[in-house]
């Protein structure tokens, strides 16, 4: 997506239902962007050795690789998308981020929910991965995705410079899937901050119109970040959104009160919609559209 990448989506899997759900998202994205997919299984350090003997561990690793390859062949046969596989060991979230960062993957698409036994790859590792990954991370829970992809995208905006960076991503996705973008922001009781936000939103509207992207503007009345996260989550459910796009930095509400990270709250609460987490570019100046 508009970057120098290896044109490959990294999909961590533990063969669980939610991991398969994330894989469906990856397939939809790969079709739209003509990406390849890498299926990766990570054995947590010491996991096999703590349960099985050395010979048993080798048998288990071989079984994992075989299962990955069968899954890859199935996807290639059904979709025509090239799929490669890899099995790694280490700390799950660190390994995912390190592989994606060092090999310049286009993005990471992964499931989030607890799992048991050998199905341990996803779970809480998703929230840690978005902190370390320099590439976009799409976190999927229980929601499948239609063949049409991301048709309704929710994008929260605040007064931070980094918040504006998500717009180019939203436009890019919307043009690929013919999506409708829902810009959501919070009203402030402070007149100066409210005027500043309205000026930013006017710029966003102008940019979307220039790119001929369908959009809806929605203003919340509550400016407290914790409530803002709830409002975004509720709004996304009401409109049956397919994707929320957020930055991985600590986004602030219009009151600029920080109560946790908005992205983390969205990932934790958005059970029915995928969340795309974007690592911001470093900048010391205002971001212009």
pLDDT digits (tens, 9 = 90+) for 184-237: 998 888 888 889 999 999 999 999 999 999 999 999 875 555 577 888 989 999
* DSSP-derived pairing of the beta strands 137-140 and 107-111: parallel
Q: Which CATH architecture has domain 152-278?
A: 3-Layer(aba) Sandwich (3.40)
CATH of 8-140, one of 3.40.50.620, 3.40.50.2000, 3.40.50.10260, 3.40.50.720: 3.40.50.620
Position 60 scores a pLDDT of 76
Residues with Cβ within 8 Å of residue 34, at least 6 apart in sequence? 7
CATH 3.40.50.620-classified regions of the chain? 8-140, 152-278
Position 160 scores a pLDDT of 76
- Its pTM stands at 0.85
Q: What is the pLDDT of residues 32-67, one digit of tens each?
A: 999 999 999 998 765 554 555 455 556 777 888 999
Of all helices (H) and strands (E), which one includes residue 43?
A: strand 36-44
According to DSSP, residue 279 is labeled P
Q: Which of 250, 244, 253 is nearest to 280 (CA)?
A: 250
Residues with Cβ within 8 Å of residue 186, at least 6 apart in sequence? 158, 197, 219, 220, 221, 222, 223, 228, 231, 253, 254
């Amino acid at each position: 997506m508009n970057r120098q990448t290896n044109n490959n989506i990294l999909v961590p899997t533990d063969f669980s239902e939610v991991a398969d759900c994330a894989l469906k998202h990856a397939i939809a994205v790969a079709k739209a962007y003509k990406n390849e997919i890498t299926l990766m299984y990570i054995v947590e350090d010491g996991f096999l050795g703590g349960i099985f003997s050395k010979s048993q561990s080798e048998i288990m690793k071989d079984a994992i690789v075989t299962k990955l390859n069968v899954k890859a062949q199935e996807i290639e046969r059904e979709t025509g998308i090239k799929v490669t596989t890899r099995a790694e060991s280490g700390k799950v979230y660190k390994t995912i981020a390190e592989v994606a960062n060092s090999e310049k993957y286009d993005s990471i698409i992964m499931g989030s929910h607890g799992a048991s036994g050998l199905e341990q790859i996803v779970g809480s590792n998703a929230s840690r991965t978005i902190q370390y990954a320099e590439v976009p991370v799409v976190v999927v829970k229980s929601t499948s995705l239609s063949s049409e992809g991301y048709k309704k995208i929710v994008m929260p905006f605040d007064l931070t410079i980094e918040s504006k960076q998500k717009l180019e991503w939203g436009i890019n996705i919307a043009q690929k899937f013919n999506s409708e973008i829902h810009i959501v922001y919070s009203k402030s009781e402070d007149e100066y901050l409210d005027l500043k936000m309205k000026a930013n939103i006017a710029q966003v509207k102008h940019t979307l119109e220039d790119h001929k992207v369908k959009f809806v503007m929605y203003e919340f009345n509550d400016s407290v970040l914790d409530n803002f996260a709830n409002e975004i989550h509720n709004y996304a459910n009401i409109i049956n959104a397919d994707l929320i796009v957020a930055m991985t930095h600590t986004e602030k509400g219009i009151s600029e009160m920080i109560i946790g990270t908005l992205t983390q709250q969205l990932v934790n609460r958005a059970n029915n919609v995928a969340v795309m987490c974007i690592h911001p570019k470093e900048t010391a100046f205002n971001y212009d559209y």
